[in-house]
Amino acid sequence: MATAKFETPALKPFPVIPLIAEGAMAHSKPYVAPAKIQEAIGFPGELAEGWEQRAVAKMGELLGKYRSLRVYMDACVHCGACSDKCHYFLGTGDPRNMPVARQELMRGVYRRYFTFAGKHFPKLVGATDMTREVLDQWWSYYNQCSECRRCSVFCPYGIDTAEVTMAAREIMDSVGLGQKYANEIIGKVHRIGNNLGIPGPALEDTLLGLEEDTKDDTGIDVRFPLDQAGAEVLLVTPSADFFSEPHVESLIGYAKVFHAAGISWTLSSKASEAGNFGMFIGNYEQLRMIALRIREAALELGVKRIVVGECGHAWRVAYSFWNTLVGIGAGGNDPFAVQLQSQLDARYKQPTHICELTHDLIQRGALKFDKEKNDDRIITFHDSCNVARGSRMGDFPGGQFVIPREIIKAVANRFHDMAPETIHECTFCCGGGGGLLTDDLIELRVKGALPRMEALKNVVDAHGVNFMATICAICKAQFSKVLPAYGFDMGMVGGVHQLVSKAIRLGEPE
Amino acid sequence: MLSIAYAALFYVATAMLVVGLGLKVREYFRTPAPLLIPTTPAPLTRGGVALRLVREVAFFESLFKSNKWTWLFGWMFHMALALVLMRHSRYFQQPVADLIVLVQPFGTYAGFAMVAGLGGLWARRFLVDRVRYISTPSDHLHLALLVAIGATGLAMRFVAHTDIVAVKAFMLGLMRLEVLPLPADPILLVHLTLVAGLMMVFPISKLLHAPGLFFSPTRNQVDNPREARHQAAWAAALDK
């Protein structure tokens, strides 16, 4: 089982590409979702007679709906440009974790049923029938991809393994083979409103508690409003921000920023989750239905702006997909989009990342900081994959790298970046993204964190770094868990707004 | 008889290349891209995207970021191939365009660079364990085919000359739907057969990476999701 004993890889002073170790991670498999979880979100409960034909038919459907999949099935030349880029390959040495080999698991089936060469010369081109054995490999290795898109940066044709993984998971779900962790969460977000399954009253209690804590800390009445109709800003944040450490420290940071800038804001009990696991399983309908909650909450509350908290994949979905899915954005001319877009304030980018909002306020001189309050911290910044390679902030390409770092430098004195080949667009996934943040995959998560841990170790040794800031709920949870495996303190990871929270001036206590 | 057989071969190969590629491109063109997925940082304008594609096509920008050896061999092969193809276009035109006359000396020696680049790419398939793992029989055959085309071409240029004037007359004839005599020179016949083979497998093989690049959403999309609403027809139907 996946929870069996394993060795944490040793940290090396410089990156080494491992020799391939065939089958090294073939045993890694997540728990299969029981029928109840599958059926609750519209998938068949289990694999049934004839699944092979249905899987091939689904693949045909997706090939017709997604140009990415269609082109990427044909274009690969096996050049190997991606072969040493995946953190799961670097951490495990399993050759099936090379992006090209992961894609090839689907390409074999694609060739067999959808290409001339594969139909007539299967051996020559490596075409394979859709069999139980192939499905088992899919199940293992398409659940060893965090959809971080690092491979797509280096591919000469831009082939994005995330697109292939999403399609594979969609095909598996459609024949009744779903992943328990991700699909259970999707059920919860529909039933309760957020991934953690926190009901409205509990959320209200939590927020009242945070108001008291913040008052005790600062002597100031910083509010954490919920379902406040007529507020200017609707803040949509990952539900981990309400309950988990260190996430909650950033939530306090956002509240202080709104307070100091005098912006009225609210959370929503209906849309109490920014995360959207519909992306992880590659299901467009789920992706859209989960995003619809945000649209509905915004319309009901009559807000002028929609701001998104620190969450990597949520920001990719919000920035890149919300306008497409549910019209949160600008430039729509159909009635569905106009209904919302005429309500939103067109002077602001919709949606706005909390870092864009804070950065803008800093630029305008609306926030003041006591930077020395963060002097006990020597800080580095981990670019989260979905923010780095699947979104943007600000007005220019790469703003997503500049803005969080400028915030850190505005609120703290001591900052050092990690090695250039491990940050910005080349950043490494934390090892727990893409729907893999579950204990049944802990071996994969620990090993997949290796490249980031090595880069961190280098700045720890060279500059005494003791804090790694990031803007993703999954990164924060994953690092809290795997940092100790590599001999670091779990408290080393935290949010950018955790640093903002520490240094921001709120005025005189009443 | 021989001339008729080769004329038929080239008509068939050309038809397969043009029709096959046309169908593939139409399929790529018609398949919608429902979500904006450019690999960021990405250009904010169409002009920027055009530049990004030019950098990919002319300089193999992403491959350069990935691996300098693969880039060196791959780029050398493709650029040399481009020169060689340009030089070969002289056999299909009379008079020969100035640009092609200019390219002629470079195109001649580019044949060596082409074969050397292929050699480097092929060596990686044996020497690098990761690349060896992902190499298929079809990958080796593609390389063998290209190397053989290059080698026979170089042999005719530098070792055993063929009657190139007659070859050109044959090709010009084909373009007027007229079959003129083709020299029965074995190296030439092998060269032409392999080239026709390459043309035929193009639309059903990994050689589709050439049109594929232009249709790759991670490379050809503008980064403007907040400013414009991007929807595929099948996705827009869900709003109704």
SS3 A243: helix
Contact B62, A81 (CB under 8 A): yes
Per-residue pLDDT tens for B31-43?
999 999 999 999 9
SS3 A431: coil
Per-residue pLDDT tens for A315-374?
999 999 999 999 999 999 999 999 999 999 999 999 999 999 999 999 999 999 999 999
Task: Pick out chain B residues at pLDDT < 70.
Answer: none
Q: Sort out which chain A residues have CB atoms less than 8 A from B44's CB and list them.
A: 396-397
SS3 A289: helix
Q: Which residue has the tokens 């364990």?
A: B129
| Structure tokens, A63 | 């090939």
Residues 6+ apart with CB under 8 A from A104: A76, A126, B134
CA distance A391 to A69: 20
CB contact under 8 A, A324 and B62: no
Query: Chain-wide mean pLDDT for chain A?
Result: 96
Per-residue pLDDT tens for A127-167?
999 999 999 999 999 999 999 999 999 999 999 999 999 99
pLDDT value for A68: 98
Of A67, A76, A155, nearest to B217 by CB-CB distance is A67
Residues 6+ apart with CB under 8 A from A166: A147, A279, A280, A281, A282
Q: Sort out which chain A residues have CB atoms less than 8 A from B227's CB and list them.
A: 329-331
CA distance A86 to A84: 6
Mutate one of B54, B66, B72, B240 to test the A interface: name it (highest A CB count within 10 A).
B66
User: pLDDT tier at A1 (50, 70, 90 boundaries)?
Assistant: very low
Q: Sort out which chain A residues have CB atoms less than 8 A from B52's CB and list them.
A: none
CA distance A144 to A127: 22
**Closest residue in chain B to residue A328, using alpha carbons only:** B226
Size of interface A-B (CB pairs under 8 A): 226
**Closest residue in chain A to residue B132, using alpha carbons only:** A80
Per-residue pLDDT tens for A176-188?
999 999 999 999 9
B127 Cβ under 8 Å from any chain A Cβ: no
Mutate one of A85, A149, A163, A320 to test the B interface: name it (highest B CB count within 10 A).
A320
Strand partners, A415: A379
User: Is pLDDT above 80 for A4?
Assistant: no
Per-residue pLDDT tens for A409-451?
999 999 999 999 999 999 999 999 999 999 999 999 999 999 9
Q: Where are the domains of chain A?
A: 35-185, 192-416+465-503
Per-residue pLDDT tens for A364-374?
999 999 999 99
- Distance of alpha carbon B185 from the chain centroid: 26
* Minimum distance, in Å, between the CA of residue A221 and any CA atom of chain B: 34
* Minimum distance, in Å, between the CA of residue A76 and any CA atom of chain B: 6
Mutate one of B21, B23, B25, B39 to test the A interface: name it (highest A CB count within 10 A).
B39
- Distance of alpha carbon A459 from the chain centroid: 25
pLDDT value for A509: 57
Of B206, B208, B231, nearest to A324 by CB-CB distance is B231
Q: What class is the A35-185 domain?
A: mainly alpha
B218 Cβ under 8 Å from any chain A Cβ: yes
CA distance A297 to A320: 20
A64 Cβ under 8 Å from any chain B Cβ: yes
Measured CA angle at A111 (ends A110, A114), to 5 deg: 70
CB contact under 8 A, B228 and A157: no
**Closest residue in chain B to residue A127, using alpha carbons only:** B136
A358 Cβ under 8 Å from any chain B Cβ: no
B72 Cβ under 8 Å from any chain A Cβ: no
User: Is pLDDT above 80 for A395?
Assistant: yes
Q: How far is CA B16 from CA A105, B7, B21, B139, in A?
A: 29, 14, 8, 21
Q: List, as ranges, residues 80-109 from B with C-beta within 8 Å of A.
A: none
For A321, which DSSP code?
I
- The reported pTM is 0.96
CB contact under 8 A, B230 and A323: yes
CA distance A56 to A428: 33
Within a 13 Å sphere around the CA of B87, how many CA atoms are in the beta-carbon half?
A: 17
CA distance A185 to A175: 19
Q: How far is CA B45 from CA A352, B42, B75, in A?
A: 20, 9, 27
Q: What is the ipTM metric for this complex? A: 0.96
Helices (DSSP H) in A126-277: which residue ranges? 132-141, 150-154, 161-174, 180-191, 200-218, 240-243, 247-261
Dmax over Cα atoms in chain A, in whole Å? 81
User: Is pLDDT above 90 for A3?
Assistant: no
Contact A329, B36 (CB under 8 A): no
CB contact under 8 A, A154 and B206: no
User: pLDDT tier at A2 (50, 70, 90 boundaries)?
Assistant: very low
The one-letter amino acid code at A329 reads G
CA distance B235 to B46: 23
- Distance of alpha carbon B169 from the chain centroid: 25
B229 Cβ under 8 Å from any chain A Cβ: yes
Q: Sort out which chain B residues have CB atoms less than 8 A from A101's CB and list them.
A: 133-134
A159 Cβ under 8 Å from any chain B Cβ: yes
Least confident of A10-24, A148-162, A452-466, B213-227: A10-24
The DSSP secondary structure of A28-97, one letter per residue, reads --PPBPPHHHHHHTTS-SS--TTHHHHHHHHHHHHHHH-HHHHHHHHH-----TTTTT-HHHHHH--GGG
Of A74, A160, A337, nearest to B229 by CB-CB distance is A337
Residue A203's closest CA among A228, A226, A187, A219?
A226
Mutate one of B31, B37, B131, B136 to test the A interface: name it (highest A CB count within 10 A).
B37
